[in-house]
Amino acid sequence: MSTTVDTKVPAVPARPAAEQAPAQSKGYWQGVGARLSRDPVAMVCAGLLTLLLAAVVFAPLLPLADPFTGSMISRLKPIGTEGHILGTDELGRDMLARLIYGGRLTLMLGLLPVIFAFLIGTFLGVLAGYVGGWLNTVIMRTVDVFFAFPSILLAIAISGALGAGIVNSLVSLTIVFIPPITRVAESVTASVRSLEYVDAARISGARALTVVRVHVLGNVMSPIFVYATSLTSVSMILAAGLSFLGLGVKPPQPEWGLMLNTLRTAIYIDPVLAALPGAMIFLTSLCLNLLSDGLRSAMNIKD
């Protein structure tokens, strides 16, 4: 949900993880799916996101104009111009093509950091929560320090130091999302670790790795995953924000945040056109948030 990571109270399951254990079976996920499909808002959002994702992935196959070719005589054509359904930008490039190709980068820069941070954060959090002791202290105190930075500030700090570029933007956003995911992963793992069946597995002679894989991960993955999905919209807004600031994607690459920035000068000429890339960020982020909310209530997770 939230637009800053730091606000989020860890998404611990409403029921203790132990009670959830039997529910992790196939039946549980079928129940979640069934509840989710009865949520009209979530289904509409899922549909729109699928449509967007399909358009973005299959952009080269669509009958679109070239997003890089501009024309000095057809700059800032309004929406509805013949041949340019959504008009043209400040360099005369087709807006529809740039919005769709721009979505590729914006979505990629928004989703990949959450996926990377999900993998790294889960690893660190489970390690800290399961092993405990000094390892826990080292990992979690480091995480605490990163929490002292508001997420946007940290993203801008790391991106600003590394310089503009897609890879640098991915790196900085991944670093921003590792601490909150680690914290959630650590707290759910610590609560699962002290449960009797985990003790039983350990006493029966199972190796630590087996216990983690079979008994811990199965129980902690879903709350961590749901928490991570709630970060995707923040991540996308931050990624576009970095490009908007001149970090992240460099021109002439189409990217929603960067397009919003370069079109700012056009707000006096055609405000609706200038607001289009931002409207795309907004609608996508709204869909991501509503879908994540729907998933949470389908899984019966409370804030």
Partner 1 sequence: MLAYTLQRLLYVIPVAFGVSVICFMLVHIAPGDPLTAVMPIDATAEQQAAMRAEYGFDKPLPVQFAIWFGNALQGDLGASIATGRSVSSEVSRAVGNTLILAFAASLIGFPLGIFFGFVAGIFKDTLIDRAVTAFAITGVSVPNYWLGIVLVVIFSVTLGWLPSTGAGPGGSTNWAWDFEHLRFIILPAVTLAVVPMGIVTRTVRALVGDILSQDFVGALRAKGLSQVGVLRHVVRNVTPTALSVVGLQLGYLLGGSILIETVFNWPGTGFLLSNAIFQRDLPLLQGTILVLALFFVFANLIVDLLQPLVDPRIKRG
**The pair of three-digit structure tokens given for residue 131, joined into one six-digit string:** 């092993």
Q: Is 210 a binder of partner 1 (CB under 8 A)?
A: no
Question: Using CA atoms, how far apart are residues 20 and 14, in angstroms rounded to an integer?
Answer: 9
- Identity of the amino acid at 296: R
With contacts defined by CB under 8 A, name the span among 53-61, 82-90, 153-161, 180-188 that binds partner 1. 153-161
Residue 92 as a binder of partner 1 (CB under 8 A): the answer is: no
Q: Smallest Cα–Cα separation from 222: which of 27, 31, 11?
A: 11
List the one residue from 44, 119, 131, 157 that touches partner 1 (CB under 8 A).
157
Residue 280 CA to residue 114 CA, distance in Å, equals 20
Contact 12, 250 (CB under 8 A): no
* Interface segment toward partner 1; rule CB under 8 A; list 26-34, 74-82, 108-116, 287-295: 287-295
CA 116 vs CA 164, 178, 217, 232: distances in Å: 20, 8, 17, 12
Size of the residue set binding partner 1 (CB under 8 A): 53
Give the separation between CA 13 and CA 16, rounded to whole angstroms.
6
* Residue 247 binds partner 1, judged by CB under 8 A: yes
Chosen residue from 149, 202, 217, 300 binding partner 1 by CB under 8 A: 149
Shortest distance (Å) from residue 245 CB to partner 1 = 6
Cα-based distances in Å from 234 to 101, 222, 237, 284: 21, 20, 5, 11
When binding is defined by CB under 8 A, the residue of 51, 62, 200, 267 that contacts partner 1 is 267
Amino acid at 5: V
Q: Is 282 in the site for partner 1 (CB under 8 A)?
A: yes
Binding site for partner 1 (CB under 8 A): 1-4, 6-7, 141-142, 144-146, 148-154, 156-158, 160-163, 233, 237, 240-241, 244-247, 257, 260, 264, 267-268, 271, 274-275, 278-279, 281-282, 285-286, 288-290, 293, 302-303
